[in-house]
Amino acid sequence: QMGKGVVDERHPRFLGNAALSSGDFVHRAIEAADLIINIGHDVIEKPPFFMVRGGTEVIHISFRSAEVDAVYFPQVEVIGDIANAVWQIGEALTETSHWDFTRLMAIREANEAQIAEGGDDNRFPVYPQRMVADIRRVLPSEGIVALDNGIYKIWFARNYKAHKPNTVLLDNALATMGAGLPSAMAAHLVYPDRPVISVCGDGGFMMNSQEL
């Protein structure tokens, strides 16, 4: 959900996930952009941090028109099949010799270094970064993580590298506790041959533990 895994996050030009905190690594990279192509964004999930009046122009690509308001007002909209729109853009692009990715790659390296921090931490209780790293190590690429809603969701959204689409189930819109377990159960019913793990806090688990 929310686009995580659409691009294999191991790709050498994947910069990272947009975080909740302003000034994070990905935010700094996008600030250097000449043009922003925003694909499938819904303001209810997260207000766009890059939208500034008089700032970098934004192209909105989605199945439906943007809900233009005080925080999101793209200059250009491409409405229709997202996959086809992205494919056509790719077909029209030609790489030029003057493109300089030095700053972007430096930002990526800094982000990767921070994600690696704590991945082998042995403290008890378990360090959030260690838990995320361990789950990534044991789950295959097609394994599914269903997240409930708590602070750990932020660690997974930021540090867990999704390899394939729809392998990290999370939501921000009207997000309440209790989604993790039923999401995992539904994922298992749809994909019985794929490993599924639900990550819940005590409150989220107690809301519907009776489903077991």
Which CATH number is 207's domain given? 3.40.50.970
CA distance 109 to 121: 21
Domain end point (choices 84, 116, 148): 116
Q: What is the pLDDT of residues 46-80, one digit of tens each?
A: 777 788 888 899 999 999 888 777 788 899 999 99
Output 3 or 35, whichever has higher pLDDT: 35
How would residue 24 be classed by pLDDT, with cut points 50, 70 and 90?
confident
Domain end point (choices 100, 116, 132): 116
Q: Are residues 7 and 90 in the same domain?
A: yes
How would residue 21 be classed by pLDDT, with cut points 50, 70 and 90?
low
Question: pTM to 2 decimals?
Answer: 0.85
Domain count along the chain:
2
| Residue given tokens 């009207």 in the structure block | 174
The whole-chain average pLDDT of the chain stands at 88
Domain end point (choices 116, 149, 179): 116
Mean pLDDT on 149-154: 86
Q: Are residues 157 and 97 in the same domain?
A: no
Mean pLDDT on 102-125: 90
* Residue spans of alpha helices (H) in 46-179: 82-92, 102-116, 128-138, 151-159
Q: Are residues 143 and 66 in the same domain?
A: no
How would residue 19 be classed by pLDDT, with cut points 50, 70 and 90?
low
Helix (H) or strand (E) run with residue 120 in it: none
Q: Are residues 160 and 98 in the same domain?
A: no
Mean pLDDT on 186-191: 96
Q: Which domain holds residue 159?
A: 118-211
What is the percent of the chain where pLDDT is above 70?
97
Q: Are residues 11 and 101 in the same domain?
A: yes
Q: Are residues 88 and 128 in the same domain?
A: no
Mean pLDDT on 117-133: 91
Encoded tokens for 180: 């993790």
Q: Are residues 6 and 27 in the same domain?
A: yes
Most confident of 20-24, 41-45, 69-73, 120-124: 120-124
Q: Are residues 29 and 45 in the same domain?
A: yes
Long-range pairs, 153-158, Cβ under 8 A, ≥24:
154/19, 154/20, 155/128, 155/129, 155/131, 156/132, 156/199, 157/2, 157/4, 157/17, 157/19, 158/16, 158/17, 158/19, 158/115
Q: Are residues 111 and 137 in the same domain?
A: no
Which SS3 state, helix, strand or coil, does residue 88 take?
helix
Q: Are residues 150 and 51 in the same domain?
A: no
Instruction: Read off the CATH number of the domain in which 45 is found.
Output: 3.40.50.1220
Output 100 or 136, whichever has higher pLDDT: 136
How would residue 152 be classed by pLDDT, with cut points 50, 70 and 90?
confident
Encoded tokens for 106: 């430096």
Poorest-pLDDT segment among 52-61, 66-75, 153-162, 190-199: 66-75
CB 34 within 8 A of CB 57: no
Q: Are residues 90 and 126 in the same domain?
A: no
